Structure 1
């Protein structure tokens, strides 16, 4: 009996540890299967995971690169498992069924299920509430992506990708079907119901490097040049505006090899922006994406309404610049609490009464 108890004392901690840590082979298997399914059109599971990771900030500015290499980013891999668990209604059996539908190796399924259920067992209520909120605005999966040039699939084969940087980022690949579609007869085209086929993904724009590329993509009538104006009202170089003077207006500044700055200041907008943040979003959403309250320059002063410190949240160090505004300023006693030369916290109760929203949001990408 004593020997048995000693053996259990040694084995039990190892078993518990195994449930809280994934073997590298299991992580690699999951990563490979997610990457494979992300290349399929309208894949519901990876589409859901990618959109949730985008909105939560778990994927940074380049969701495609992250999804294709989850094994290289443990935090992103955990996030992918969390959102697959959420997709499965935080139900272990549904989670297992979804893993099997992705054709994971049999000896990967149960370790993944045990690891994920243990890791998020105390988050079930919050995950289900977040899912219900997410589905109110989710428009469906955007998958069928092309892997990056350095991508190697599960079989160890190098995958050929599109040569155009924007096409590659959008998952476009030349094909006989596409060529046939481009030569369809005028009669056939008129019979089809007109639809908006424009790509509203923002991420490919981080790879564009010249105004000529913008014109090639969007057409010369949809691109114009303007002075770039900073928060102090001073000219700061030049900017190019896509779909000017519309709700979908987007400003892009080129900074050579340092990357592009993309700014939104109009709403509503069809663009799918990084982290799901757009102009017009409420302050509560911004706090939720960041994962904690942050600090703001008070209104009606230098850089008023600008987020000054993300306080170590998810957006900290992510090159996201946001300026807020208060819509309801009719009560001076309330508004005066958040104006002047001072720093305020985003969780001040008065900010809810002032209907604070995102006025402008800029993203810097390399």
Structure 2
């Protein structure tokens, strides 16, 4: 039976352009009301207010915000907000055997997120945030503040764990993604004018799809039909049958 995890594939290239292990830390939550009060963008505040079931501490607004991470954030500012236990200077795997120096939030928990910076000297001005939950040897989520649940999500519900069909519904139409079993396997490669891109056609969020556990034997034929360095439409029959889930998210900033 094929192991089909795709946890290390990233959307850094598509959006254009862990080092030491430690015990899970206690997550210090920021104050939602305080974040709303300092919001510099009315649209962000409105998204927070409308998302009644989602803490602003983990709200994703593509291009503008990933929880407390704003376009003007730095590692130092995140330490002030979240505490040193929850903000770690780290070596982060990117793609194809490459690593970068950045910052990890909530390390070794379901809410683990990596920040890659534009200013690599001051570790400031985020370029990309990778929502990459920590998992055990069985590919099960390690618990965080909310247990084995990834809290990061957009206001319309896109999150780690969303199914391919869920994402189609959020996007409002089928989208493109790469086949499985290579470095970029399962990555979204274009939202085709759906709601997950801006009105001007820019994209600030990408998703990598895969499977929490092995593909069952009775679905192997479907899996083999969507392998390799090939783009597929999400409404492909085999993909619909497999209905993979979002394993990681990648958010860039305007």
The one of 316, 334, 354 aligned to 2:242: 354
Equivalent runs, 1:232-271 vs 2, <5 Å: 232-235=96-99, 237-256=100-119, 259-266=126-133, 268-271=149-152
Equivalent runs, 1:151-166 vs 2, <5 Å: none
In structure 2, what is the Cα distance between the partners aligned to 1:260 and 1:302?
A: 21
Residue 285 of structure 1 aligns with which residue? 166
How far is 1:222 from its partner?
1.4
How far is 1:270 from its partner?
2.2
Return the structure number with greater strand share.
2
Answer yes or no: is 1:319 the counterpart of 2:204.
yes
How far is 1:352 from its partner?
3.3
- TM-score, scaled to structure 2: 0.62
Q: What is the root-mean-square deviation in Å for CA atoms of aligned residues? A: 3.1
- Structure 1 residue ranges, 4+ long, deviating more than 4 angstroms after superposition: 138-142
Aligned partner of residue 224 in structure 2, secondary structure: helix
- TM-score, scaled to structure 1: 0.44
The one of 316, 327, 330 aligned to 2:216: 330
Number of residues paired by the alignment?
184
Residue 94 of structure 2 aligns with which residue? 230
**Which structure has more RCO (C-alpha within 8 Å, separation ≥ 6)?**
2
Deviations 1:13-60 (A, max 9, x none): xxxxxxxxxxxxxxxxxxxxxxxxxxxx8xxxxxxxxxxxxxxxxxxx
In structure 2, what is the Cα distance between the partners aligned to 1:63 and 1:279?
A: 27
In structure 1, what is the Cα distance between the partners aligned to 2:118 and 2:186?
A: 25
| Preserved CA contact (<8 Å) 1:302 1:341 | no
How far is 1:207 from its partner?
3.8
Aligned partner of residue 340 in structure 1, secondary structure: coil
Query: Gaps (5+ residues) in structure 1?
Result: 1-40, 42-61, 70-75, 77-82, 84-137, 143-169, 171-198
Greater C-alpha Rg:
1
| Preserved CA contact (<8 Å) 2:187 2:207 | yes
Residue 339 of structure 1 aligns with which residue? 227
| Preserved CA contact (<8 Å) 1:264 1:278 | no
CA distance 1:67–1:363, shift in 2 (3 Å):
closer
| Preserved CA contact (<8 Å) 2:164 2:244 | yes
Deviations 1:61-88 (A, max 9, x none): x99522779xxxxxx9xxxxxx9xxxxx
Residue 36 of structure 2 aligns with which residue? none
In structure 1, what is the Cα distance between the partners aligned to 2:157 and 2:85?
A: 27
Return the structure number with greater helix share.
1
